[in-house]
Amino acid sequence: MIELKAIKKSFQTKNGTINAVNGVDLAIKSGEIYGVVGYSGAGKSTLIRMFNGLETPTTGTVSVDGQVISSLKGGALRKARQNIGMVFQHFNLLWSRTVIENIMFPLEIAQFPKALRLKKAKELIQLVGLEGRENAYPAQLSGGQKQRVGIARALANDPSLLLCDEATSALDPQTTDEVLDLLLDINKRLNLTIVLITHEMHVIRKICDQVAVMEDGKIVEQGNVLDIFTKP
Ligand code: ADP
Ligand code: ADP
């Protein structure tokens, strides 16, 4: 269960204060695929970055499974983050490392022994369908394959929450559908909670259970995807 309470986030710029997120309350149930949709500049990216402490709210609290992420710092925050995977639009892979090395990287940081890292990475390679590409470098992969590596890496520490920041926005429509099918499969198999942000309604319709529509730092509509899209 994830709860955001009375979240505001302002940035000071030379042109004054920007309220990127301006009073958001959200409750996300375990196992749900929850989508936040909105135009560019709505505050989606700032919002999702508060789920794992990449941004700290100016006011309000974020809690994940009862733990208040927004007040953690240093080692405690790093530890909590191991329970929260993240997937990015531009993959953020390590270009000088192979597929399997990229997937093992978070396990290296968490100081797992090498044999365990290899075992886990091989399981993840199967889960995301990259068998045979273990020793390729990211530059040799298609966009969809790169994102499969990104997803596998995000799952390395067995997180209970996966955050997707425009995870399919750099992919063509067919590859987008393949990656969304993979996310749906992982959600079901691992009972993993997924929170995603997107500017594409198609993504919401295809895989989300719940949706929040964001505009100008606020949630203007929220509910079950079927209800929201069948309203007159
Ligand atoms: P979205 O992800 O929906 O495109 P963002 O969260 O990226 O929206 O941005 C929301 C608003 O906050 C925008 O006006 C953006 O320019 C501003 N913003 C985001 N991050 C910063 C920052 N670090 N400093 C100043 N303004 C920011
Ligand atoms: P995308 O293809 O998703 O748009 P980018 O091209 O923006 O991703 O790459 C993300 C980062 O990786 C950038 O900093 C970019 O300079 C770097 N990068 C991209 N391709 C390579 C490559 N073949 N070798 C090394 N670094 C690369």
In tens, the pLDDT along 15-68 reads: 999 999 999 999 999 999 999 999 999 999 999 999 999 999 999 999 999 999
Ligand 2 neighbours by CB, cut-off 6 Å:
90-91, 95, 139, 170
Q: What is the DSSP string of 69-114?
A: GGG--HHHHHHHHTTEEEEETT----TTS-HHHHHHHHHHHTT--H
Which pLDDT value is given to residue 73?
Answer: 93
Task: Quote the pLDDT of residue 228.
Answer: 85
Averaged confidence pLDDT in the chain: 96
Which residues make Cβ contacts (< 8 Å) with residue 99, sequence separation at least 6?
125, 130, 133, 134, 135, 136, 137, 138, 141, 149
Residue recorded with tokens 């989606």:
44
Note the pLDDT of residue 232. 65
Give the pLDDT confidence score for residue 63 in this predicted structure.
96
Q: Please give the number of the atom of ligand 2 that sits closest to the Cα of 138.
A: 23
Alpha-carbon span 36 to 208, nearest angstrom: 9
Structure tokens at 88: 């990015």
**ipTM higher than the 0.90 cut:** no
Is residue 91 within 8 Å of residue 150, measured between CB atoms?
A: yes
Whole-structure pTM value:
0.90
Cβ of 217 below 6 Å from ligand 1: no
Q: Is 107 in the pocket of ligand 1 (CB under 6 A)?
A: no
What is the SS3 assignment for 51?
Answer: coil
Q: What confidence tens digit (pLDDT) does each residue in 182-230 have? A: 999 999 999 999 999 999 999 999 999 999 999 999 999 999 999 887 7
Centroid of ligand 2 to alpha carbon of 46 (angstroms): 23
